[in-house]
Amino acid sequence: MTIICPNCSSSRVGVKNYGRSTCGTLGSLAGAHLAMQGIRVGTTVGRFFGPPGMVIGGTAGLIIAGISGAMLGGSTGTQLGSMIDDKILNNYKCLDCKHTFSDSTASKDDEYVYEHSTPSDDDDDFHPLSTSSQ
């Protein structure tokens, strides 16, 4: 899919992805927060099994909550950010005229009007003067 600048019709268009990187970072931070909660929950659960249980429980909580939290937070943040990039922000910047625009602006060019070809291509089957075949 080629992005064309709606201002000067240049194909030299850059993508900024502000929302994607910002929300991806926020998602990772949220995942890290989940990991900290995982340590706390794991330590609380492990307390029933004594000090070694606290360490094991905390480590298990960190691994489980940290991995799932980082994956969930990061991917969700990236998806949310890309949605914001595509729909809300002016995510594209023309490298020629510095014009910034969003995907919805650029997609107006997708509405092509196809010309109908005239249906007169059946000349091969129509020989009104073909008397030489005998």
Q: Which residues bind Zn ion (CB under 5 A)?
A: 5, 7-8, 10, 94, 96-97, 99
How far from 96 is each of 8, 91, 93, CA to CA, in Å?
Answer: 8, 16, 9
Specify the residue, 15 or 97, whose C-beta has the smaller distance to Zn ion.
97
Interatomic CA distance for residues 37 and 73, integer angstroms: 14
Least distance from Zn ion to the Cβ atom of residue 12, Å: 8
The structure tokens listed for 63 are 């691994």
Closest CA to 32 of 77, 74, 70, 61: 70
Least distance from Zn ion to the Cβ atom of residue 109, Å: 13
Specify the residue, 37 or 105, whose C-beta has the smaller distance to Zn ion.
105
Q: Which amino acid does the sequence have at 13?
A: V
Least distance from Zn ion to the Cβ atom of residue 5, Å: 3
Specify the residue, 3 or 39, whose C-beta has the smaller distance to Zn ion.
3
Specify the residue, 10 or 21, whose C-beta has the smaller distance to Zn ion.
10
Interatomic CA distance for residues 50 and 12, integer angstroms: 63
